[in-house]
Amino acid sequence: MRAMVWFRRDLRVADNRALSAAAHDADQLVAVYFVTPAQWKSHNDAPAKISFWLKNVQCLKIELQRLNIPLLIFEVADFSLVPSIIEEKCRQLNCTGLYFNQEYEVNEAARDGSVIALLKNAEITCKTFHDRILIEPGAVLTGQGKPYTVFTPFRNNWAKKIVETDTSVLPVPKPAEKISDLECCGHEILNDYIEPFSEDFWPVGEKAAQKRLAEFCGQKLAAYSQTRDLPALDGTSRLSGYLTAGVLSPRQCFSALNQANNASDKLPDFTSSAGVWLNELIWRDFYHHVMVAFPRVGKGYPFQLATERISWLYDKKHLLAWQNGLTGYPIVDAAMRQLKQTGWMHNRLRMVAAMFLSKHLLHDWRFGERWFMQNLVDGELASNNGGWQWSASTGTDAAPYFRVFNPFSQSKKFDKDGVFIRQYCPELENIPAKALHDPMLLQAEVKKRGLGYPAPLVEHAFARNRAIEAFRK
């Protein structure tokens, strides 16, 4: 038997459910990958993210070659031609089965449905697998059989379900029987879309991802609950980009967590460092479950439909100032500049920056959601949308609308000495730390030193009251 494995955002050979199943069922394997530039554009995928993906596809090719699996790459504008090409190639290459891991977004699910229907008519077996999150969507429900809309009860039920779920990490499959008359093709296409990105920040390949996971669990996990909110420290896992591209599986993360937790059969206490990190993996599951149960959140609509009545403002100068890190709030500006320079933003600062746009500037959260996707290497629809709607108080389990972070208070608490701020706002290098967390002192120092740093776009107390009133109305 010869089978085809369709790679998408699962760019690895270790612990890949579809690849392992295909290797078990078939003697010979062929792999395919599609480059879809128009689809990327419509999804606001960041050039850095696309480059990171495609660099990992190049690494995947090498790993597949070791397994005697040729990787064929095809370029199409969008998803519409994918089904017909897959059917054609399955016929040409005498593949009796197609194997792939499921994706849960609306466009991706529709594409996969079309492929399944077309192959069924062609009498070609199609096998799909849940691989992207730890527990598949729809498997964690309330007592009434409904999806959860609040995180904590979801987590409590998730913790019961995970012990019944197969979270085993599958090894790299053994090499397949070599196909003598078929070579890799289409790989020159990748170079057309690979742009420079921060490879020091995001080294590519499975080995790099696994190394980062091992280093995090071995060196940082024990102090994670104390360091995760401090952006000046390298205290987070920085694995999100690998999870988004599928270079690393959530099961590999869960397994490494268990090993670091002394291989305990019990989940760590959620207040412990291991438990706090596990919480992040569960949030990722939660937002994917929400996206599948309530597909409107992936179509530009708020989860809380009543919030469509909010009278959002729009000021192009304010929006551009936020995007470029020129708001006059140092912690917000440092965060936004980190995003542009590295393709990543510290999780605490994502909340601060998102709440600043949606509450202080009272701009529609969708402007921010789109901007993050256009710049993040780890931009993933479910998590990005969930985080933005939480911050803007429009989503599931949302922050109460009257919660409006004071960025100066946030920086004083989480960047007390101003180390992170000075790293990304070098014009403030000589400003005393105390002034970085006080708008009046900051402006006095800026004026005294003749710096070009802007005054705050809006005063905090005024902005807070305006946001609360807009939500109340």
53 is catalytic: no
pLDDT digits (tens, 9 = 90+) for 220-246: 999 999 999 999 999 999 999 999 999
Write out the chain in H/E/C secondary structure.
CEEEEECCCCCCCCCCHHHHHHHHHCCEEEEEEEECHHHHHHCCCCHHHHHHHHHHHHHHHHHHHHCCCCEEEEECCCHHHHHHHHHHHHHHCCCCEEEEECCCCHHHHHHHHHHHHHHHHCCCEEEEECCCCCCCCCCCECCCCCECCCHHHHHHHHHHHHHHCCCCCCCCCCCCCCCCCCCCECCHHHHCCCCCCCCCCCCCCHHHHHHHHHHHHHHHHHHHHHHCCCCCCCCCCCCHHHHHHCCCCHHHHHHHHHHHCCCCCCCCCCCCHHHHHHHHHHHHHHHHHHHHHCHHHHHCCCCCHHHHHCCCECCHHHHHHHHCCCCCCHHHHHHHHHHHHHCCCCHHHHHHHHHHHHHHCCECHHHHHHHHHCCCCCCCHHHHHHHHHHHCCCCCCCCCCCCCCCHHHHHHHHCCCCHHHHHHCHHHCCCCHHHHCCHHHHHHHHHHHCCCCCCCCCCHHHHHHHHHHHHHC
User: Is 380 among the catalytic positions?
Assistant: no
Burial of 257: CB neighbours in 10 Å, binned 0-12, 13-18, 19+: buried
- Domains annotated on the chain, with CATH: 2-132 (3.40.50.620), 133-168+206-293 (1.25.40.80), 305-472 (1.10.579.10)
Pick the catalytic residue: 365, 371, 384, 445? 365
280 catalytic residue (yes or no)? yes
Task: Kindly give, in sequence order, each residue whose CB lies less than 8 Å from that of residue 425, ignoring residues fewer than 6 positions away.
Answer: 325, 330, 333, 334, 337, 453
CA distance 253 to 261: 12
Give me the catalytic one of 75, 87, 157, 280.
280
Look at the chain and count its residues.
473
Enter the tokens of residue 113.
């449905």
Question: What pLDDT shows up at residue 167?
Answer: 95
Question: Which two tokens mark 85?
Answer: 């090409």
Among residues 53, 283, 344, 371, the one annotated as catalytic is 283
Nearest 5°: the CA angle 287, 370, 452 is 125
Residue given tokens 């397949």 in the structure block:
176
Give Cα separations from 189 to 37, 55, 458 (angstroms): 11, 12, 47
Which token pair is 171? 């090894």
- Rounded to whole angstroms, how far apart are CA atoms 228 and 222? 11
pLDDT reported for residue 124:
96
For residue 209, the model assigns a pLDDT of 98
| Integer CA distances (angstroms), 436 to 22, 167, 370, 415, 430, in order | 57, 46, 29, 10, 10
| CA distance to 74, 100, 273, per residue, from 95 (Å) | 17, 14, 47
Check if the beta carbon of residue 257 is closer than 8 Å to that of residue 274. Answer: yes
Give the active site residue among 388, 390, 406, 445: 388
Low-confidence ranges of the chain (pLDDT < 50): none
* Number of other CB atoms surrounding residue 49 within 10 Å: 25
| 239 CB-near residues (< 8 Å, 6+ apart) | 209, 212, 213, 216, 248, 253
> What pLDDT, on the 0 to 100 scale, is given for residue 184?
85
Q: What is the pLDDT of residue 150?
A: 95
- Residue 283 annotated to the active site: yes
Active site residue 390: no
382 contacts 236 by C-beta, under 8 angstroms: no
How many CA atoms within 13 Å lie on the side-chain side of 264?
10
How confident is the prediction for the chain on average, in pLDDT? 96
Residue 397, pLDDT score? 81
What's the pLDDT score for residue 263?
A: 65
Q: Which of 68, 75, 87, 312 is catalytic?
A: 312
**Threshold 0.75, pTM exceeds:** yes
- What confidence score (pLDDT) does residue 264 get? 65
Q: What is residue 67's predicted lDDT score, i.e. its pLDDT?
A: 98
Tell me, what's the pLDDT at 198?
87
Q: What are phi and psi of 79, to 5 degrees?
A: -75, -15
For the question of residue 365 being annotated catalytic, the response is yes
Q: Whose CA is closest to 63, among 21, 126, 10, 27?
A: 10
